[in-house]
Structure 1
Amino acid sequence: MTWIRGYRALDLTASWNAPMTLLDDVDVSFTGSRLLYGLPFRFGAELSGASLIRVAGQSEVIPVDAECHWVLFAHALEEPSLFEGAPVGETVAHYTFRYADGGAETVPVRQRFEIGPTPRLWQRRPIPLDWGQTPFLAVPDAQHRLMHRTCGRYDAAGARFVDIDDPQARTPYVLPYRFYLWPWRNPRPGHRVAAIEIASAGPAVLIGAVTLSRLEEDPFGRTGARELVFSLAGGSVDEDVAVVVDRGTATYAYRTVDCASRSNPPGWGGATVAHRGYAKVAATPSARVTLSVGGTVQAAFTWSDLLSQGRIVTDDGTSWHLPDAGRAWIKGSVVDDVTGEPLACRLHFHTPEGIPFAPYGHHAHINSDGNTWNLDIGGDVRLGQRTYAYVDGEFEGWLPHGRVVVEAARGFDHTPLRTEVTIRPGQRTLELRLKPFFDPEADGYVAGDTHVHFVSTLGAELEARGEGVRVTNLLMSQWGHLYTNTEDFTGNPHTSADGTTHVHTGQENRTAMLGHINLLGLRAPIRPWCTGGAEEADLGGELETTLAHWADECHAQGGTVVLAHFPVPNGEAAALIATGRLDGVEMIAYDEYNIGQYYRYLNAGYRLTLVGGTDKMSSEVPIGLIRTYARVPDPATMDYWDWCAAVRSGDTVITSGPHLRLSVDGAAPGAVLTGTAERTMGVVAEFRSIFPVDRLEIVVNGSVTESRRWESPVSAGSLSLDLTLDESSWVAARCYGPGEDVARHADVWERPIMAHTSPVYLAAGDVYERTDEAVLEQMLRLIDGVEQHIGDRARTTWPGPVDHRHGSPDHDHFLREPLTEARHAILRRLPR
């Protein structure tokens, strides 16, 4: 046999004396020439014929006749005595290495040190007996390999989170290996080894293959992984690009952080460099590293060449280099710059080369930079292509020696941090300080998110604290036969240990046609969560109830009803508004259509509180990215129920960044001022924002009455006017990030940076009354549409007798009843 980059497999054909079928569950993939850990081994070619060496009573001699630094044995014990109580460390064989000069080295081979029993298919055992009992000084003949990055069986989805295909996790159990590879270091590498004598000390020894190494390197490597940075001459780093190491391991290839790309302010996202990437590589010096694109090899080099030179360029033009390998385990803290108290926030670190480092327990790349829909990824969030870790004022983990870029952010109330620190050899600690920017609670406004999915209660608490959100509404719901957050429902808010942060599990009840409705502050579940068939409820499912009935049940419990992502799905919204069943309408992203619909209902005389929620369904959206500030009597003692009451009062501001305030003659949003006809009132709007803002507007009855625009975006601004009206009217304020298209966040939906207040209502007389006949007529048409959908299209006929949850014998009447009520309410407001 020839040497292959320093290794040569011995031909044991003359020594084979036993069939491969002595091994359990063996197949042809275990025969013939094989590369294990990138090293050549030659096994027998047949299963039933003589294909391995069995050493029992009489010793066996294997000819070698070569100089070598290492001898690698693929061996195992035939008998499973270890699993029947045989002592660990007992000598089970002696291997004697005889040199051509007459010298010899005899090595004891011990149970579970250098060798172990060949695995067996243990029947009716909950845990395979070989698992966790492999030899201390050997490795199995099965190497870890990366799973396919984007494809695979559904039942292997969990395994992809650990990167490797794990045969022991399969059902039924699959034997992952048959032999153990034990490397013996030759103490006399300059002397030719003539032969190896194998003698059993009791149990039968099975030798599958023997390989020699004439290199000094440890054949399986002892050095941990380090970052390998590469820059493509053409194309971009994506899922088709792979770095492969034959004698070692390599992670998936990831794009590096674009150090020049940063959000304004910092801490709110960033891009990657398309043509540059990195992988973490652990390799022996003789390893061959290849770059493949779509499975085709584009470049290759030897790891030792890069180790010696530090930087190389392969024939395809790809450049490769190794950053400084030094690192320190850092215990870090984040504190408020004024109080010195620990501060929950989110953190991101990266090197000047763009390699991200995450605090321990967190992800450098959430879900490999892929979609995170319906995944609760342990307290992390990704904005753009920058992953942040939520920490509770402290963190630990590896940071590289040298320059490290730090980003830290905590919602909209602290000035985000971007700075460069230097980690020095011997350093153990790092303190980061965040400066307070604005305290909305000083004038009573407390932040909450009305719409969060998929995260756990404690995960929501940590994330909310890291974003300065004190109230999170975690909503159960249904997607076909997927039911989410069932285990989080208790009927009571979860409150953080310091009493400041509240997470309550409520529901988002949904139908594809009638709409979605958030039921907050529930004491008991209101079922069904979804109805009317796909895509919300079961495929082919019937229409069991309406949003109006869900709202009534919620109010009966003292809960708060919010129409989700107003006004769509735009079915039952008009009926709910006409009957006063809503405590708020929710904006999850500012859009001209959505806000235009809100204005139309306000112009028709309906008083509607505006609330903000993220509809977070992935780790690409932080809790509170769009949030509700509701004014409570005392933020210091506020509980969850106080916040819900504040929402119902109407004194709210929704924002995706700016802190916006509005007063009309000193009255806040939600207030109704009477006797305002022909009276001059002072209107004041002002904002402060960590995000640049260039436009502030005062809106009266849907039209911009006064506005101010700054040529250069600012972090604070105000606008005032004297307003005289002769009719009942509503007044609101809004502001925007810069640009005609409005500056946008780096979340998955790229939401605009803006803020909008709920209205102040001005009654010309003693009662606030407005109307818009065209809007009321449109509301009637929407109600007609829902009614016809129920009567002519929805599945409302069951294939057999049914006893409905609502208990009414007339299901059709039950569904239509709220619509009839709404129609009558609208008709009463129309001119006779």
Structure 2
Amino acid sequence: ELRDAADQPLAARLSVLGSDGRHYAPDDAWIRADDGFDRAVQEHETHYFHCADACTLQVPQGAISVSASAGFERRPLTRKLRLAAAGERLQLAFEDNALPPQFGPWTSLDQHVHMNYGGHYRNTTATLADAARAEDLDVLYNLIVNKEQRLNDIAEFRPGASEIGGVTLVQAQEFHSSYWGHLGVLHLGDHVLTPDFSAYRHTALASPWPHNGVVAALAHRQGAVVGYVHPFDWPIDPAKEKALTNTLPADVALGNMDYMEVVSFADHLATADVWHRLLNLGYRLPAGAGTDAMANYASMRGPVGLNRLFLNQSGRSPAALAEGIRSGHGFVSNGPLLGFTLEGKRPGEVLARANGGAAVFRASLRTGIPVDHLEVLVNGEAVAQLKPGRNGGGDFEGSIDLQHSGWVLLRAWGPSTPLLMDIYPYASTNPVWIEMGDAPVRSPRDAGYFVAWLERTIADVAARDDFNTAREKEATLAYLRSARLRFEEAM
């Protein structure tokens, strides 16, 4: 039986390990498993299921371990017991672990879920909402996408949003191009963009046209919100990459991106490094977050809500959600909760000053997953290291010196742990933007980094011979050269 801090019934995620070393679940539950694990730490991957508020299991006698979680704002639980006979009952009561109320309110979003990704076990919107409820997730985006030649869930598409048992479900799209990088296309106002992918070599859609800038423009005509998803799995060095054709820098420079997933099915620190470089050039690109959960697969990235964006708002209408994503008012996380203000300004807001000087920040951390880094960054450099308390959280106040236009954010991260079904815990607020008089945000070093990046991309595109027409190729090269010029002018 599952209860919250007020002793009310609660849905949650459970993992039950029996005395025989096997995981157990109710007969009518979908049991799932982590898509990876460290064999030096675990004998096998974590198995889990979702429970509405009370569940019955058959397990062997002996030692039983029960782990439970109910979102990020409650402490996870682990209970060990010895089962001697049938009919034993276990009640789990969760403790609240939310941020102080002065930082709220919050609405949690997973911007990247696939309700069905092929296979024989099929999710419905109702079962998907059940999973979100057990993860204490407010808003879930189902990204309709091709799985090879199939477009699963395309019949589910409709503009707007639906409300299912307290969960807001938005039908959206992922546009696939492993050449240019994958895009999340949220809040389409009329229709899914088909055929949903480009640059699939050795197919009828081998041409790299349309590039992502064209796709973003088509989506924006419908009022959509567009961003890069699961961007980078390792630190990007333009001089050392075997190939470098991801067009995130070009699309940001030319004003075609509304967000990028910073916490995602990728390396969070490597992705954040690219994001920070863009921020250093004055591009106010908000962070997003998405799990890329294949929600009807037993062992393929999940659970839903593993990676999420917390918007500093209570409104869940499609218009409010779209505006919240674009505004950057909030933080992204796979576990730690972050509260941050700078001279009273929240993430996504502007702190304007005529001259440099000290600025007071307030920060809070709440987490059920250990982190060993909590730091305030100014233009990408850590200027204040904060130490979490013994319970993993803390409330902090301090002062930092600001002398230049730019940005300030709070982030937390730590070592890999079996408590988290992701590579390691990571959270980051969006920036508070600093305007120091009329001084622009400048970083010639980062501008040069993206010039080198786009040189590689332009060379790769120029060498391709599978565009449908010469006009498509020239238009693509012109787009990339225009973006390169923006960065050259910033050097």
TM-score (ref. length: structure 2): 0.83
- The answer to whether the 8 Å contact 1:411/1:468 transfers is yes
Q: Spell out the pairing of 1:572-721 with structure 2 (5 A cutoff).
A: 572-587=247-262, 588=264, 589-617=266-294, 618-632=299-313, 635=314, 637-709=315-387, 714-721=391-398
Number of the residue aligned with 2:39 = none
Q: Where in structure 2 are the equivalents of 1:453-532 lying within 5 Å?
A: 453-455=114-116, 456=123, 457-497=125-165, 500-523=166-189, 524-532=191-199
1:744 corresponds to 2:395: no
Q: Give the whole-Å Cα distance in 1 for the aligned partners of 2:194 and 2:93.
A: 47
- Residue in 2 aligned with 1:556? 221
Residue 439 and residue 721 in structure 1: after superposition, are their counterparts in 2 closer, same or farther (change >3 A)? closer
Structure 1 CA distance for aligned equivalents of residues 113 and 284 of structure 2? 25
How many angstroms apart in 1 are the aligned matches of 2:139 and 2:94?
22
Change (3 A) 1:629 1:542: same
AA in 1 matched with 2:25: A
Q: CA deviation at 1:619?
A: 3.9
In 1, the alpha carbon distance for the partners of 2:451 and 2:282 equals 15
Select between 592-601 and 402-411 the one with higher mean Cα deviation: 402-411
Taking a change above 3 Å as real, the CA distance of residues 555 and 561 of structure 1, as seen in their structure-2 partners, is: same
**Separation in structure 2 between the aligned mates of residue 400 and residue 612 of structure 1, nearest angstrom:** 40
- 2:442 corresponds in structure 1 to 771
SS of the residue corresponding to residue 207 of structure 2 reads coil
Q: Does 1:410 align with 2:410?
A: no
- SS of 1:532's partner is coil
C-alpha distance in structure 1 between counterparts of 2:364 and 2:273, whole Å:
23
The percentage of aligned residue pairs carrying the same residue is: 23
Q: How far is the alpha carbon of 1:387 from its aligned partner?
A: 1.3
Inter-partner Cα distance in structure 2 for 1:825 and 1:696: 34
Preserved contact between residue 693 and residue 714 of structure 1 (Cα < 8 Å): no
The 8 Å contact of residues 412 and 689 in structure 1, kept in 2 or not, is answered as yes
Residue 386 of structure 1 corresponds to which residue in structure 2? 46
Bigger CA radius of gyration: 1
2:236 aligned residue:
none
Aligned to 2:108: 447
Q: For 1:440 and 1:387, how far apart are their aligned partners in 2?
A: 33
Q: Give 1:580 deviation, angstroms.
A: 1.7
Alpha-carbon distance change, 719 to 538 in structure 1, aligned in 2, over 3 angstroms: farther
Mapped partners of 2:472, 2:205: distance in 1: 18
Distance 1:760 1:557, change over 3 A: same
**Aligned mates of 2:176, 2:300 — CA distance in 1:** 22
Which residue type is aligned with residue 347 of structure 1? L
Q: 1:364 to 1:762 in 2, by over 3 A?
A: closer
**How many aligned positions are there?**
462
Conservation of the 8 A alpha-carbon contact between 1:567 and 1:594:
yes
Paired position in structure 2 for 1:356: 23
Other structure's SS at 2:369 match: strand
Q: Summarize the Cα distance change of 1:735–1:813 in structure 2 as closer, same or farther, 3 Å threshold.
A: same
SS of structure 2 residue aligned to 1:779: helix
Structure 2 unmatched runs, 5+: 37-41, 117-122, 234-243
* Alignment match, 1:95: none
Deviations 1:35-61 (A, max 9, x none): xxxxxxxxxxxxxxxxxxxxxxxxxxx
Q: Give the drift of 1:620.
A: 4.3
Please give the alpha-carbon distance, in whole angstroms, between the structure 2 residues aligned to 1:753 and 1:555: 33
Aligned partner of 1:811 among 472, 485, 490: 472
**In 2: Cα distance, 1:401 partner to 1:607 partner:** 57
Q: What amino acid is the match of 1:578?
A: A
CA distance in 2, matches of 1:451, 1:768: 37
Structure 2 counterpart of 1:547, from 194, 208, 212: 212
Which deviates more, 424-433 or 571-580?
Answer: 424-433
Aligned residue number for residue 419 of structure 1: 79
Report the CA distance between 1:639 and its aligned residue.
3.1
| Per-residue deviation, 1:728 | 0.8
Would you tell me which structure has more strand in proportion to its own residues? Answer: 1
- Checking the alignment, whether the CA contact within 8 Å between 1:480 and 1:538 is kept in structure 2 is no
- Tell me: CA distance 1:810–1:763, structure 2 relative to 1, closer, same or farther (3 Å): same
* 1:454 CA displacement: 4.8
Task: Read off the aligned partner of 2:15 and give its amino acid letter.
Answer: H
Residue type matched to 2:160 in 1? N
Residues 1:703 and 1:335: Cα distance change in structure 2 (over 3 Å): same
State the Cα RMSD in Å: 3.2
Cα drift, residue 572 of structure 1: 1.2
How many angstroms does 1:672 deviate by? 1.4
Report if aligned partners of 2:19, 2:60 keep a CA contact under 8 Å in 1: no
CA contact (8 A) 1:677 1:763 kept: no
2-side partners of 1:467 and 1:580: how far apart?
A: 34
In structure 2, the residue matched to 1:253 is none
- Per-residue deviation at 1:434? 2.4
SS of the residue corresponding to residue 461 of structure 2 reads helix
CA contact (8 A) 1:761 1:768 kept: no
Aligned-pair distance for 1:824?
5.1
Residues 280-299 of structure 1 aligned to structure 2 (within 5 Å): none
For the 8 Å contact 1:685–1:698, the answer to whether it is kept is no
Question: In the superposition, relative to structure 1, how do residues 409 and 591 fare at CA in structure 2: closer, same or farther (>3 Å)?
Answer: closer
- After superposition, give the CA deviation of every residue in 1:262-286 in whole Å (9 maximum; x if it has no partner): xxxxxxxxxxxxxxxxxxxxxxxxx
Report the Cα distance in structure 1 between the residues aligned to 2:35 and 2:269, rounded to whole angstroms: 30
Query: How far apart are 1:486 and its partner, in Å?
Result: 2.5
Aligned counterpart, 1:209: none
Deviations 1:517-571 (A, max 9, x none): 111112310122111114xx94772223011111112222222111112357752
In structure 2, how many angstroms separate the alpha carbons of the residues matched to 1:755 and 1:468? Answer: 18
Pick from 556, 565, 569 the counterpart of residue 230 of structure 2: 565
Shift of the 683–440 alpha-carbon distance from structure 1 to 2, 3 Å rule, reads closer
2:5 is equivalent to residue 337 of structure 1: yes
Shift of 1:663: 1.0
In structure 2, what is the Cα distance between the partners aligned to 1:768 and 1:343?
52
- 1:191: which partner in 2? none
- Cα distance in 2 for partners of 1:787, 1:570 equals 8
1:727 aligned onto 2:404: yes
* Aligned counterparts, 1:422-437, within 5 A: 427=87, 431-437=91-97
Distance 2:353 2:305 in 1: 38
SS at match of 1:575: helix
The secondary structure found in structure 2 opposite 1:660 is strand
**After alignment, is 728-737 or 452-461 more displaced?**
452-461
Structure 1: where are the runs of 5+ without partners? 1-332, 372-381, 799-808
What is the CA-CA distance between 1:688 and the residue it aligns to?
Answer: 1.2
Paired with 2:436 and 2:88, the residues of 1 have a C-alpha distance of 67
1:227 aligned residue? none
